[in-house]
A = this chain, B = another copy of it.
Amino acid sequence: MMANTFKIGVVCVSSRFAKERAEAVEAWMAEHHPEGDIAVTFHPACFMKHGHFAGDDRARADAFVEYANDPRFDAIWFARGGYGSCRIVEDVISRLNDVARTKRYMGYSDVGTLLAGMYKAGFKHLAHGPMASDSVRHDETAERALAWLVKGDEQGLEPSLAIDRKKAVAFNLTIIDQLVGTPLEPDLTDHVLMIEEVSEALYRVDRMMFHLTSQPSIRKVAGIRLGRVSDVTPNDPDFGLTAQEIVRYWCHRSGIPFLGKADIGHDADNKVVPFG
């Protein structure tokens, strides 16, 4: 490791994480950054198992707080999503120090719950973007994520951000839907809210859009952009509306501007959306 190596701590706040995925990330780094300009270190707690989770709530919270607060790590990358961060966010945020506030953090999907709470708590360097586990399956995805994590590079940003300079956030639809009204919900007034979804039936997307766009707090956003809705769970009979038609309908009905597409999703093309 060089003296000026940029050190990224990788933590897992949600579902179980396979050691083999960590080894794949390390192999990718060795191949693509052999000069040692960037190093990733997986917290050992990533590989713990507690039912559904990567370790129990205490273990996942402690691991994140440890790496976030440690000045030897320059940025924090989330290993993967799944489910589980909502259980630890309030505890975690109360324990983060000033060092933690200087770092960049990147993740999406379930990690959005943690990013939301941190955004509400005033953290300034948060982004919805590729995670360690999925990004290294595609070189471009990984480099896009690392460019922002290491330098705050804007090359990999979601393209509408270059045109529309309003504040923005991005979330998995289910995650923001399950955040509203809780102490973790940030003030999204005048923000562009980008949403994406994976592995949900369209009737659920419709119901979540009812719930989300019915919230007085969400009616204050500058508008909604729709990312990719992929691996849709089949509906029998066919739902009758596409995901975009559903989102347009509820935006229209609730008076929220529908702003078009967002280049985000549970896929290799998932672009970076810094919060704020």
Residues of A in contact with B (beta carbons under 8 Å apart): 16, 49-53, 83-84, 86-87, 174, 177-184, 202-203, 206-208, 210-211, 214-217, 235, 237-241
Contact = CB atoms under 8 A, between A and B. Distances in A.
A235 B50 CA distance: 13
Number of chain copies forming the complex? 2
A211 B83 contact: no
Nearest to A184: B214
A16 B237 contact: yes
Given A211-B182, A215-B182, A206 B53 contact: no
Contacts of A52: 202-203, 235, 237-240
Nearest to A240: B51
A92 to B, nearest CB: 14
17 contacts: A49-B237, A51-B238, A51-B241, A83-B206, A83-B207, A86-B207, A86-B211, A87-B210, A178-B208, A179-B211, A181-B211, A181-B215, A181-B217, A182-B210, A182-B214, A182-B215, A184-B214
A202 B51 CA distance: 11
Nearest to A57: B249
A155 to B, nearest CB: 34
Nearest to A202: B52
A119 B179 CA distance: 25
